[in-house]
Amino acid sequence: MTKSIDKNRSDSSKEFSFNARDFDRVRDLIYKRAGISLADSKQEMVYSRLARRLRATGIHSFSEYLDSLENQEIDSEWEAFTNALTTNLTSFFREEHHFPILAEHVAGKKDPVSIWCSASSTGEEPYSIAMTLCEAFGTLRPPAHIIATDIDTNVLETASRGVYNLDRIEKLSAERTRKFFLKGKGAQEGLVRVRPELRDLITFKQLNLLEDSWPLSGEFDAIFCRNVMIYFDKPTQSKILKKFVPLMKSDGLLFAGHSENFLYVSDDFKLRGKTVYELAKSLASGTRTASRHLQKGNP
């Protein structure tokens, strides 16, 4: 005999009323807002993270909080809601095998190198890219620029400061630590700051990958979109990958996360190496031009 699920039933042991119907509303809202597909198993995580928002706003139930969101009763709360549900797990040189590939790819390029890090989180990834470029060109001021974006404004603020606890760089070599970081003294003991030369290579800005248009121009030598697509369903993944195409140089590289496989989602890319993609040959000329016109809204 199948038991029916009462979506209005809440756990009376919790501080705030939160039932399956509330969870479904959260899932629907974050999907529409950020394209994130929350699994059934994320209900406790959602409660834990959004309970902080209820405390901050003085609201006493999830249904009331979600009503206020939908009615836009609290300025900027949509941003706080999105930030709360965005996962930001990162580290310096995470998935390390990508960075020698990037260094080899940019070596010897005559034109300035342009790279987009599409999920910068707290900054470790774009700073790792910047260090790689410095090493590839043998200078702290390489002919390169990095656009680092994220939907979460809180992590962008951290990334822009470039200040980290000392234990965040403990796995880096002594040479990289000396070359790219300044250790804090006195009141700043236990902290490190990335060198200003690295910070000068990067522009941080807020960007939602679900937006119809992105405030980006030009073509990139590489796009890092790592451990982001796992939060999107396949139609959303396909849409984003299609929009990457006109933003890439003909020999550009797309770096994905270790658990992501774009071959089942898009035929615009082919696998070059472990979680590294390049444009399919058919997009090297005519199709790329057509895609660029479409993105600009030209007939």
Q: Pick the closest to residue 210 from 229, 182, 189 (CA basis).
A: 229
C-alpha angle 239/244/247, rounded to 5°? Answer: 145
Secondary element (H or E) of residue 21: helix 20-34
E-state strands within the chain: 113-117, 144-150, 163-165, 181-183, 191-194, 202-206, 220-225, 248-256, 269-273, 276-279
Listed in sequence order, the residues at least 6 apart from 295 whose beta carbon sits closer than 8 Å to its beta carbon are: 213, 243, 246
SS3 content of the chain, % helix, strand, coil (to 5): 45, 20, 35
Cβ atoms of residues 64 and 20 within 8 Å: no
Q: Which residues fall within 8 angstroms of residue 201, CB to CB, at 6 or more apart?
A: 130, 133, 142, 144, 145, 146
Give the pairing type, strands 163-165 and 181-183: unpaired
C-alpha 85 chain-centroid distance: 13
Residue 187, judged by CB atoms within 10 A of its CB (0-12, 13-18, 19+), counts as: exposed
Catalytic residue annotation: 49, 150
Burial of 210 (0-12, 13-18, 19+ CB in 10 A): middle
Can you read off the two tokens belonging to residue 34?
């950020």
Neighbour count for residue 299 (Cβ, 10 Å)? 4
